[in-house]
A and B are shown apart, each in its own frame.
Chain A
Amino acid sequence: MKKLINSPENVVRETLEGMALANPELIRVHYDPTFVYRADSPVRNKVAIISGGGSGHEPMHCGFVGKGMLDAACPGEVFTSPTPDQMLEAAKAVHGGEGVLFIVKNYSGDVMNFEMATELVHAEGIRVTNALIDDDVAVKDSLYTQGRRGVGTTVLAEKICGAAAEKGYSLRRLADLAMRVSSNGRSMGVALSSCTVPARGSPTFKLGEDEIEVGIGIHGEPGRERKPFMPAEKIAELLTLSIIEDPPYKRKTRIWDVDSATWIERDIIDPPFAEGERVLAFVNGMGGTPPAELYIVYRTVAEVCLRKGLKIVRNLIGSYMTSLEMQGCSITLLRMDEELIELWDAPAHTPALRWGV
Chain B
Amino acid sequence: MTLMMFILLIFILEWNYFSVRWNTASAYREMLGTALFASDALFTTPGDPPGWERLGNISESSVHAIGLADSRNILNGDKLERLSELNQSDSDYQLVLERLGMPGYQLHFTIMDLTGESVYYEFGRPSALNNSVTIERLVLINQTTAAVAKVDVWR
The answer to whether A and B assemble together is no
**Interface of B toward A, CB cutoff 8 Å:** none
A interface residues with partner B (beta carbon < 8 Å): none
